[in-house]
Amino acid sequence: MKRLLNIIDATKELNILRSLETYRKPFKIVGTYRLIDDGVRPEATVIIKTDNSETHEASTGVGPVDALANVLKKSLSSIFPVIQGIKLVDYSARVHDAKSGTSAKVEVAIVFTDGTTIWSVTEIAENINMASFLALVDGFEYAVLSKNINE
């Protein structure tokens, strides 16, 4: 049976790439994100460093994950213009070991597209915002890497 969509498992590809001695990340997060969530207009900040530059940006969103996505996209777009065309098309979170209650680990899955290719990433953390942030970083890292390969 032919599939309607070919969704690339970017998490798997990134994990394999990262296991190679020759792999160099296209960007690094300095420290981690900062998130201020007043329940109305969350704001996120991040510092991103490459070999040639460092950016410090802030952005808001309709929720904490949207604020994190917006600040990463804003910061990375200034360094990697390909990021401007990236869209998040699906987001889901799943609780692992529900018996742990509010301390349970959360798995976040995000699907991205550049309008032609579709890829997904997953991350697990004890904090839903951290799992979301790590998945967002992976999704954007994959976008940068795949654009460099295709050029």
pLDDT in tens, 64-99: 999 999 999 999 999 999 999 999 999 999 998 877
| Backbone φ and ψ of 119, nearest 5° | -140, 155
Tell me, what's the pLDDT at 104?
85
pLDDT at 147 over 90: no
Q: Which residues touch 53 (CB under 8 Å, ≥6 apart)?
A: 79
Helices (H) and strands (E) in the chain, counts: 3, 8
Is residue 151 pLDDT above 70, yes or no? no
Domains and CATH numbers, the chain: 7-150 (3.30.160.270)
Per-residue confidence (pLDDT) for residue 149, from 0 to 100 = 58
**Cβ distance 26 to 39 under 8 Å?**
no
pTM (two decimals) = 0.93
